[in-house]
Amino acid sequence: MDAIASYIEAQHARLHEELHALLSLPTVVAHGRAIPETAQFVRHSLEQRGAQVQVIPMPNGGAPLLYAVFGAGQGKRRLLIYDHYDVQPADPEELWQSPPFGPTVRDGKLYARGVADNKGNLMLRIQALEALHAVAGELPCEVAFVIEGEEEIGSPNLPYFTQHYRELLVGEGMLWETGRRDVNDRPEITCGVKGMAYVELVAHGAAYDQHSQFATIVPNPAWRLVWALNTIKGRDGRVQIAGFYDAIRPPTAAEEAALRSMPDTDDALLAELGLPAFLDNLRGMERLHRHLFEPTCNIAGFGAGYTGAGSKTVLPCEARVKLDFRLVPDMSPDVVVQQLRDHLDQHGFSDIEIVAHNGSYPARSALDSRLVQALASAAEAVYHLPPVLAPTMPGTGPMYDLAQQFGIPAAGGAGCGYAGNQIHAPNENIRMDDYWLAMRWMAEFVRHFAA
Amino acid sequence: MDAIASYIEAQHARLHEELHALLSLPTVVAHGRAIPETAQFVRHSLEQRGAQVQVIPMPNGGAPLLYAVFGAGQGKRRLLIYDHYDVQPADPEELWQSPPFGPTVRDGKLYARGVADNKGNLMLRIQALEALHAVAGELPCEVAFVIEGEEEIGSPNLPYFTQHYRELLVGEGMLWETGRRDVNDRPEITCGVKGMAYVELVAHGAAYDQHSQFATIVPNPAWRLVWALNTIKGRDGRVQIAGFYDAIRPPTAAEEAALRSMPDTDDALLAELGLPAFLDNLRGMERLHRHLFEPTCNIAGFGAGYTGAGSKTVLPCEARVKLDFRLVPDMSPDVVVQQLRDHLDQHGFSDIEIVAHNGSYPARSALDSRLVQALASAAEAVYHLPPVLAPTMPGTGPMYDLAQQFGIPAAGGAGCGYAGNQIHAPNENIRMDDYWLAMRWMAEFVRHFAA
């Protein structure tokens, strides 16, 4: 066992306790919960390890961003790291087997909202720097964390940060918040993100909910949304909004090659999802291609009328559907929202209101950068498995805002995720063994990157 | 002022207090709340006025039915009355301006869940018999109340009652639970009900909610329901289930004539609903014809994924829609549910589960019966306005089970409703003046019926 692994093992109890305390904070940014407490907690974790921390207030009372520099002036390179301390809402809470903000270990897994997305990675990366410093006496390069508190609501204030603190975004690479092992437990490195257009469609009817006897003559906003949605995406899964697919840039040869080098995880993923087949019976490369290189139009929520137990005969006066579109390069969230508006108007649904919640641009980074190569060689050293190099994540994040627009490569890796994380769902969890291994991956990565 | 009106006016405070106490009980049968307390309360109100009350237990722990006879053996006729003591759920509770079970008078209106449907009518009819007895020293005929506690969940145990207590359902007419003044304040008499098929459609996806990044490859049950619903009813409002309209019996000449005698209430109803127009811009006779003689297919509730504040990017593992179909003679709820199953199967939606909640047959009664004529002449005597004779209500109730199958005419009237009742919705209310007038209508009606 190497010195870093030994150091980490000796500190398990203390480091685990620190993670537990962070997870106990209900940092649901969508509901404005526990923001100052969590920011203060993370600041303390950083400062007690010698980081210089700036707490940067965000406009309109937004959650503050933490900028923390370790090993200022050391080495010849500079590594940027992006993480976030906020989490998704925990509902439906009744489906949790233990309280979402009462971290619980069962069968070697740690259950808590945010443990996989993103508090686990945030904490293990900070703790990895402690281990690296303890073993080597110093860091091999300067490392700067950008830690925001609004990722789960679409990072509305990051453009403010990138405009006003441009000078802080300097480095030869940015480690992204994400990092995990795939369904075969191979460490995964991801070199891009999808973008996002998140909207709510609202249809209105009578002045207040009606007895459903009036369904003969009173418009039902839930039916309006059903009919409108049916024009937006057909049963073949194809989005029918004019121009929706026009801006898509075909994958590069290198990206296609990376895709082909990815393992066939179809059956393991299906088992994890509890599904007999993917949509359209996609398999192998076709499945991967669809998953990584194509956009989506997802119903994230549909609420109308009475949804409780038993029956109630009501004609609702309002219906709402939340739609999230995942975008690939070079789609733009603003363009998609406008295309959606035009589509609704052209199809006779001018009455349906669009509330645009947030948008974010897609991004992809070079696969042959020092950042990606260091993540790969460090992973191989720790896991003794060839890492998976994914041209992009299917998920979303502000990679364009923080890195791509400044020409900085960004990639995910050195994280504790696995295929059963249930992120954004009840019973979110990590495997504790992964947590300690990812901490070693992180420490090794910084060494390789600095070399 | 006649003797009955004088008696009622002298007793306002006590009678109002009794109504207030009944409305304070949260008798939400869908949630199993306050059933024994309410049954006991009503029993007491009946018995203290000299009724012989049977408390009839229902199978499977259902809410007990009360059967109460006033004036046993008196007069030459027998009047049956059907009411219910249960109410709809109160949610969304946050839209109530005063607590749904904290009855409150504002501007001459009494606000409470159930005040219009049906506790107000139940109480005023009992109180009217007190007035009639007090003034005349006896009742002019025998009057039997059938008071159930499961109307708002579709009267699941009424077939048990009608089978096992057939001998209690004897009379020359049955006064139905409903009764109101129309938008022009004319007293309304209704001679039929629509039937009901209430189902829940359930679509399933992955084993648990997923991060919406998987929308590329994982089926979304909310989209499944959207596509299925779109095949069930089109944008023209026409139900596309094969055979759905086949069993409809055309209205009789007398029913059509009654329709033509109904006042044009379009503008007043639109104002009340807060709508610029009815569906398909229907007006006048066309609107009435659609409303009274045609079936519906209503989305009463749609629940999937995240419907709270802000945004959450989730791919739900389940989606549910509650559909209520209002049926006209001679449609059958069982047939409609089977047609729906066949429709889904034939359109590629075998994966969508149907949970059938409850069903009820439509019914219509003769317009020239003693019952209807007595309601009309009594209304004219009290309100000095020609009553509206409606061939049917657009709403539903177990009129077939309780009356039509035994050849007993049934009709609604002698009730305190008005066009702004907001039944089944937040802020359900009655106008207190209507309550006292309807009590007089009820007393007069019994006199006319017995004559």
Cβ contact (<8 Å) for B427 and A291? no
State whether residue A276 sits within 8 Å of chain B by CB. no
Phi/psi-derived region of residue A114, left when phi > 0, alpha when psi is between -120 and 50, beta in every other case: left
Cα separation, B152 vs B119, in Å, equals 12
Query: Between 3.40.50.460, 3.40.630.10, 3.40.50.620, 3.40.190.10, what CATH number should domain A3-194+363-450 receive?
Result: 3.40.630.10
Cβ-based contacts under 8 A for chains A and B: 287
Cα separations (Å) of A105 from A110, A200, A433, B139?
A: 4, 37, 12, 73
Q: What angle do CA B421, B423, B428 make, to 5 degrees?
A: 60
State whether residue B425 sits within 8 Å of chain A by CB. yes
Average pLDDT over residues B5-9: 97
Q: Which residues in chain B touch residue A426, judged by CB atoms under 8 angstroms apart?
A: 208-209
- Cα dihedral angle (B119, B125, B129, B131), rounded to 10 degrees? 90
Residue A156 has pLDDT above 70, yes or no: yes
Quote the pLDDT of residue B1: 56
CB-count exposure of residue B318 (10 Å: 0-12, 13-18, 19+) = middle
> For A393-442, what is each residue's pLDDT tens digit?
998 888 999 999 999 999 999 999 998 899 888 999 999 999 999 999 99
Residues with Cβ within 8 Å of residue A377, at least 6 apart in sequence: A448
Cβ contact (<8 Å) for A275 and B219? yes
> For A424-436, what is each residue's pLDDT tens digit?
889 999 999 999 9
Side chain identity, residue A236: D
- Residue in the block written with tokens 């006025």: B49
User: Rounded to the nearest 5°, which phi and psi values hold at A135?
Assistant: -80, -40
Task: Find the farthest-apart pair of alpha carbons in chain A and give their distance in angstroms, rounded.
Answer: 78
Q: Which of A304, A313, A393 sits opposite B302 (nearest CB)?
A: A304
CB proximity under 8 Å: A 172-231 to B: 194, 196, 198, 205-220, 222-223, 226-227, 229-230
Quick check: do B3-194+362-450 and B195-256+291-360 share a fold? no
Cα separations (Å) of A206 from A212, A220, B272, B346, B365?
A: 12, 8, 9, 34, 31
Helices (H), ranges, B233-319: 253-261, 266-273, 284-293
Cα separation, A228 vs B120, in Å, equals 41
Quote the pLDDT of residue B297: 98
> For B408-430, what is each residue's pLDDT tens digit?
999 999 999 998 899 888 999 99
Quote the pLDDT of residue B155: 87
Cβ contact (<8 Å) for B226 and A222? no
Query: Between 3.30.70.20, 3.40.630.10, 3.30.1440.10, 1.10.1060.10, what CATH number should domain B3-194+362-450 receive?
Result: 3.40.630.10
Quote the pLDDT of residue B50: 96
Cβ contact (<8 Å) for B154 and A311? yes
Helix (H) or strand (E) holding B343: helix B333-346
Cα separation, A115 vs A398, in Å, equals 20
State whether residue B245 sits within 8 Å of chain A by CB. no
User: Rounded to the nearest 5°, which phi and psi values hold at B300?
Assistant: -85, -20
Cα separation, B398 vs B325, in Å, equals 15
CATH of domain A195-248+294-360: 3.30.70.360
Residue of chain A whose alpha carbon sits nearest to that of B425: A209
Instruction: Give the domain ranges of chain A.
Output: 3-194+363-450, 195-248+294-360
Distance, in angstroms, between B297 CA and closest chain A CA? 7
Q: Does the pTM of the predicted model rise above 0.95?
A: no
Quote the pLDDT of residue B188: 95
Q: Which residues in chain A touch residue B273, judged by CB atoms under 8 angstroms apart?
A: 206-207, 210, 214, 218
User: Rounded to the nearest 5°, which phi and psi values hold at A249?
Assistant: -90, 130
DSSP strand pairing (B78-84 vs B142-148) = parallel
State whether residue A426 sits within 8 Å of chain B by CB. yes
Cα separation, B41 vs A276, in Å, equals 55
Chain center to CA of A255 = 21
State whether residue B125 sits within 8 Å of chain A by CB. no
Please answer whether residues A23 and A115 qualify as being in contact, where contact means their C-beta atoms are separated by less than 8 angstroms: yes
Residue A1 has pLDDT above 60, yes or no: no
> For B51-98, what is each residue's pLDDT tens digit?
999 999 999 999 999 999 999 999 999 999 999 999 999 988 999 999
> For A24-51, what is each residue's pLDDT tens digit?
999 999 999 999 999 999 999 999 999 9
Please answer whether residues B79 and B143 qualify as being in contact, where contact means their C-beta atoms are separated by less than 8 angstroms: yes
Sign of CA dihedral B275, B279, B285, B288: negative
Other C-beta atoms closer than 10 Å to the C-beta of A329 total 22
Cβ contact (<8 Å) for A299 and B226? yes
Cα separation, A172 vs A314, in Å, equals 59
DSSP state of B300: E
Average pLDDT of every residue of chain B: 95
Residues with Cβ within 8 Å of residue B13, at least 6 apart in sequence: none
The arrangement of secondary structure in B195-256+291-360, i.e. its CATH architecture, is: 2-Layer Sandwich (3.30)
Average pLDDT over residues A128-134: 97
Helix (H) or strand (E) holding B447: helix B432-450
> For A75-123, what is each residue's pLDDT tens digit?
999 999 999 999 999 988 999 999 999 999 999 999 999 999 999 999 9
